[in-house]
Structure 1
């Protein structure tokens, strides 16, 4: 896949007026990320196929400009983009007072237009709390076209945060104390000395932030007058446990964790890599391993293009609407140009291939050729509705829960079909995707018992599940995941190669399932999935004790 990184910043200036459109539509321009998290960069190049349907683009531009000014600390400029500049300036200045928030990241979503002509732009706010982690929440901006034709953010206190009001505000509370002792699902003690990959995780159990320290604290919603706590908005750091309560019991399995750490150490070749194994029937995480073992938790919080492992979701979307069947002929040429030239790994081609063959050989051009059979936002909807990707997960430790923005043009839509463009995931997400595909039902992953589950998903039809399982198995017996053939049990898998930039080798991916366990592994600059992640996953499955109890 010939891709070229584009690091230029978007121009965020409001456009001019135009007649209102009354129908409810979604902007196909997609999601604009105003502050980019750590991860791979990919650009679709110039977009000659950009859409101009939906709400007035000027409304979306004004919303994104407001968020950009707010995120950059240009509060007076942000306030001027609202219908109540003085009030907006005062609130934006005071909102983070005492919360120790630095450099917020505000990500705009796809706009929609109501019958009365108002436009709504949802956004995700990631507020880094110094020394603790990241407070993440979602809100939305209402916009109205003014008499002079200029769009303005229709100021409301709740747009800053849905629960901010005249009677309630937020307060930061910090806690002291040592992180707890940690045990696996059978009560066996887990120590960082024995399991180095768990060192950063142990200090974060019980928190939902995204920082890297062992400190603890919380953001509370409190009554402005009495100071009484109404609810906890975000908790950071290790779970607070009394000495007489004993170790924190996790879902981890010491045997699987040991096998995962050995696999990375023996076959990771010193590269940055991460691996997650979880139970298919309930989402309980059995192993979390990172290389290097200290620092950033790539397995749970990484933001990577999932490459061809994402074809599991794309295939699900196509099968769900009957857009293709496994035995349909879908040609697999070496190249396909959609605004830019896409190609297959090692320039492979399979003339007259069936869709099943395209899947097992991971043919990029075949999948891209089917892009018109899905609506612009359909891939993201399937990911969210059936796989829980992009919803908020409460795993028991800080996680990144995935993103599948609506593509901004045909080139980016082509890229999203093969897990590139702005699609982002990590091993936790892709292990969960694999588990959902082969069981038919999403289970929110968990590291601790009793974690809150606010996700809402639908089951995949049994016919689709059967087709996915058959193709995943065929990928092992005669496709790109042959490295897993010969292992005991019925193993299914999908490889992935994800481009990062012109000056970096591709990341390698492999996801697999056997029995009641799903696994996902990424190797940064691993070149190919089968060649880099394949040996790691094979080692794990060969070493692991079988089903976790």
Structure 2
């Protein structure tokens, strides 16, 4: 935007007009573009007095207006000197015209809140005769320079566009990959406008399968991913390409329920999987940071992991669903004492099923003591991998994390039995674990048909005879009995159902993560609400809403 650019005032609104077209040129601020405006970059001050303390209201107003006006004028040099990182800011601001091909923009600042100044951008993007309007909102923050003491814009790529991250850039041109039309299991078209959680997934499907699906390229504005293996994010389509049809396993009805369910809580994620096939029916997130925790998170799953621990206990002859267990309030393990929630105990001759329903931690640690050192340190990891497919390089059709239960020692071994320690899972992993428990064998989750690219699915051994039936019995009791921690959340789900709650303590977090996994008929789902507290309170209602939308 450096050449042929004029700045205009239209009712107090900053405007940039490229190529001399437009409204007549006016300087928005006195001295704009001369040496009196620049020099704000956070380098050593020439004055002997350097201001300190928070930026003032007047400084916030003055700096933001000068920055936005310089950006509107297309003077990337002056605008960058009003930031605390000129080296990164100048090429990014220059690229707004040179790479993104913005040929006109009107920037309207809003009312400042503290040091943050919001604004809207109404732009026109033009490329080889194609032109399209583009509107969005973003914000900037004014800070005091560490060495200059001047009020400066705290430079982040999101100043230019809210979705722009570090190492990323805007570009307009012929698209790198062909367009796709992703459809659900019944042929319904899936769009990120209707299903916001699918935005990143649709971008990834396009990158991987666009050409295979027979689509053609169009003209677009996109964000170049900072990751060489990542998918670019399309922001604007100037000329549509012919989309290639990509079938998915998603169910539009279940996906809609998932999108609705996660809106109830911040930092919430949910996944639904069909036990009889492994098909992923829904993936949804509600996170301000845009992270797809549903399939990529690596966090402790809490007591939902007791599904795998119960299978391990049964298979090693240490107990069964209806065998008696001890559930004291605490249990020692190599110098560390493990507690139940609020130190409750069960003294009426509980079974493993009832201890599972109450989520008694000690009942899932104490029986494993007789296994012996080396075997008990690896028993849970072996169970998770050999029978539940955890860590087996899932080829779902999109990037996913397939869980990890690494070997452990000492107290970490005991912690792993109740879903703490080094274990790392996400809702996709836990939905698959529940689906395996219900189905009796692991079927790798997938979101596009294997036939689309002939990729190899991960495999695992079937659960030995009777184990699945006992796990289903335990899950059902937990979701239907008076003492089950999942009963309240699952009250409005159909008869053929089961569930398990979990709460995972995370270092540095005042409140535990809320976990819940469950099934109803041929649908299994798992949810995570980070810092959500008890599993039945936050994650439970999310799972229940998704299950009610299933078969």
1:183 CA displacement: 1.7
Cα drift, residue 182 of structure 1: 2.0
Partner deviation per Cα, 1:22-43 (whole Å, 9 max, x = no partner): xxxxxxxxxxxxxxxxxxxxxx
CA distance in 2, matches of 1:385, 1:179: 39
Instruction: Give the SS at the match of 1:252.
Output: coil
Superposed counterparts of 1:418-433, under 5 Å: 418-433=418-433
Deviation of 1:131 after TM superposition, in Å, equals: 6.7
Cα distance in 2 for residues equivalent to 1:503 and 1:279: 33
Question: Does 1:518 find its partner at 2:519?
Answer: no
The gaps in structure 2 that reach 5 residues or longer are 1-166, 170-174, 209-221, 234-239
Superposed CA offset, 1:257-315 (max 9, x none): 101111111x32xx201000011111111100001276210000001101100000111
Match of 2:244 in 1: 246
Report the equivalent of 1:388. 389
> Quick one: which of 298, 307, 312 aligns to 2:302?
307
TM-score w.r.t. the length of structure 2 is 0.60
1:277/1:519 contact within 8 Å kept: yes
What is aligned with 1:498? 504
Deviation at 1:515, TM superposition (A): 1.0
| Counterparts of 1:194 and 1:348, CA distance in 2 | 46
| Paired position in structure 1 for 2:412 | 412
> How far has the Cα of 1:206 moved from its partner?
6.7
Residues 280 and 485 from structure 1, CA distance in 2 versus in 1: closer, same or farther, beyond 3 angstroms? Answer: same
Residue in structure 1 matched with residue 403 of structure 2 by the alignment: 402
Counterparts of 2:526 and 2:392, CA distance in 1: 19
Larger Rg: 2
Aligned residues: 351
- Alpha-carbon separation, structure 1, partners of 2:499 and 2:387: 19
In the alignment, structure 1 residue 320 sits paired with structure 2 residue 321: no
**Contact 1:499–1:505 (Cα < 8 Å) also in 2:** yes
Q: How far apart are the structure 1 equivalents of 2:459 and 2:496?
A: 30
Is residue 196–residue 294 contact of structure 1 (8 Å, CA) maintained in 2?
A: no
TM-score (norm 1): 0.60
Q: Secondary structure at the match of 2:284?
A: strand
Distance in 2 (CA, whole Å) between partners of 1:341 and 1:492 is 30
Q: CA RMSD in A?
A: 2.7
Q: How big is each residue's C-alpha offset from its partner over 1:202-247, in whole Å with a ceiling of 9 and x where there is no partner?
A: 1122779xxxx9758999xxxxxxxxxxxxxxx65389xx955633
1:421-500 alignment runs, 5 A limit: 421-450=421-450, 452-478=455-481, 479-483=484-488, 484-500=490-506
Change (3 A) 1:214 1:504: farther
Query: Counterpart of 2:61?
Result: none
Query: Is 1:358 the equivalent of 2:364?
Result: no
Q: State how 1:38-187 maps to structure 2 within 5 Å.
A: 176-177=176-177, 180-187=180-187
Establish whether residue 334 from structure 1 lines up as the match of residue 334 from structure 2.
no
Unaligned runs of 5+ in 1: 1-129, 133-174, 220-234
- Secondary structure at the residue paired with 2:538? helix
> What corresponds to 1:534 in structure 2?
540
Q: Residue 372 of structure 1: which of 350, 369, 373 is its match?
A: 369
Deviations 1:397-428 (A, max 9, x none): 11111111111x22001001111000111000
State the secondary structure of the residue aligned to 1:189. coil
